[in-house]
Amino acid sequence: MRFTKMQAAGNDFVVMDAKEVSPDWPTLAQAMCHRRFGIGADGLIFVMPSKRADFEMRIINADGSEAEACGNGIRCFARYVSERGLALAGKEELRLGTLAGISRARLFYTSGKLIKIQVSMGKPILSPAKIPVNASAKDDIILDFPLAVNGHELRLGFASMGNPHAVLFTDQAVADFPLSEIGPKVENHPMFPKRINFEVARVFSPRTVEARVWERGVGETLACGTGACAITVVGQKKGLLDNHVDVMLPGGTLEVEWDGKGEVMLSGPAEPVFTGEWPD
């Protein structure tokens, strides 16, 4: 089975054509994504035919669970189908189907070289019941929920970008936050029936924020596209961030744009690392 290893701001994936793969995707993902005995990746992405879009994308996390959406993964997917000749040559916009809905990916070229990929991430969901979060809110939005975890009181804002997110804004450097201790506790807290992704962020200016992410089903990752979007949405709702934000993550910077009403737009790099064959 042929594969391509790709990364987007350090968020790495194994990308494959689903026609070459057996149906036991969770077991395959756990084997291929293992960083000691496999290729090593945050997730396994499959390219599939689609009746509603140009292609269908499915992503299996490193623990074998399936993700509804993945902003960095979508950019890797778009570059893969473009450069493998699966998409029409020269096509600069693709419609890609995910479990969270249709995403549009636009490829930007300069002198024939791909420099950036922008993807539409859909409208954010802020209603606790739809995220889902087992908590009620007077205005059907929660931006400052107190959650005690391991002696830390976290003030969390919630949003879904097709997958659920809890965002903590802090005044301390995010490098000093005990993410490996707190992240799994938040992810698996009983108030989140489908578990949750957890972001810790510090605002430098209305257009610049630094962040770290604990991803549901993966652990800490170098970057998270939907996480960057959730940070921007919650930060904007809290009056901390502008409508165009650079989110600086350990693996690189992602650009997020949101007008407060429509779809969130995410931009950033996507690079191939190497190709190879995985034994059947």
What does the pLDDT average to over 188-207? 98
- pLDDT value at residue 26: 94
Catalytic residue flag (residue 76): no
Q: Is the dihedral of CA 34, 35, 36, 39 positive or negative?
A: positive
Write the class of the CATH domain 2-122+268-277: alpha beta
pLDDT tens digit sequence for 6-15: 999 999 999 9
Q: Residue 36 — φ and ψ, nearest 5°?
A: -115, -40
Q: Where are the alpha helices (DSSP H) in 103-224?
A: 179-187
- pLDDT value at residue 75: 96
Query: What single DSSP character describes residue 75?
Result: H
Catalytic residue flag (residue 70): yes
pLDDT tens digit sequence for 233-243: 999 999 999 99
Residue 141's pLDDT band (boundaries 50, 70, 90)? Answer: very high
Residue 53, pLDDT above cutoff 90: yes
What does the pLDDT average to over 70-89? 91
User: CA 77 to CA 72: how far, in whole Å?
Assistant: 9
Q: Where are the alpha helices (DSSP H) in 1-104?
A: 25-33, 71-83
What does the pLDDT average to over 198-203? 98
Residue 96, pLDDT above cutoff 90: yes
- Which residue is catalytic, options 33, 70, 76, 229? 70
- pLDDT value at residue 20: 77
135 exposed, middle or buried (CB, 10 Å; 0-12, 13-18, 19+)? middle
Least confident window among 3-17, 44-58, 99-113: 99-113
Residue 111, pLDDT above cutoff 90: no
Q: Is the dihedral of CA 271, 273, 277, 280 positive or negative?
A: negative
What is the pLDDT of the chain when averaged over all its residues?
95
Residue 23's pLDDT band (boundaries 50, 70, 90)? Answer: confident
User: CA 238 to CA 232: how far, in whole Å?
Assistant: 10
- pLDDT value at residue 110: 86
Query: What single DSSP character describes residue 222?
Result: S
What does the pLDDT average to over 250-278? 96
User: CA 218 to CA 209: how far, in whole Å?
Assistant: 23
What DSSP element (H or E) covers 230? helix 225-237
Q: Residue 208 — φ and ψ, nearest 5°?
A: -145, 130
Q: Is the peptide bond before 132 cis (omega within 30 degrees of 0)?
A: yes
| Kind of pairing between the strands at 208-215 and 244-249 | parallel
What does the pLDDT average to over 233-255? 98
- pLDDT value at residue 88: 76
pLDDT tens digit sequence for 266-278: 999 999 999 999 9
Could you report how far apart the first and last alpha carbons of the chain are, in Å?
A: 6
CATH tag for 128-261 (out of 3.20.20.105, 1.10.3720.10, 3.40.50.1360, 3.10.310.10): 3.10.310.10
- Which residue is catalytic, options 33, 76, 224, 229? 224
Listed in order, the ranges of the chain carrying CATH 3.10.310.10 are 2-122+268-277, 128-261
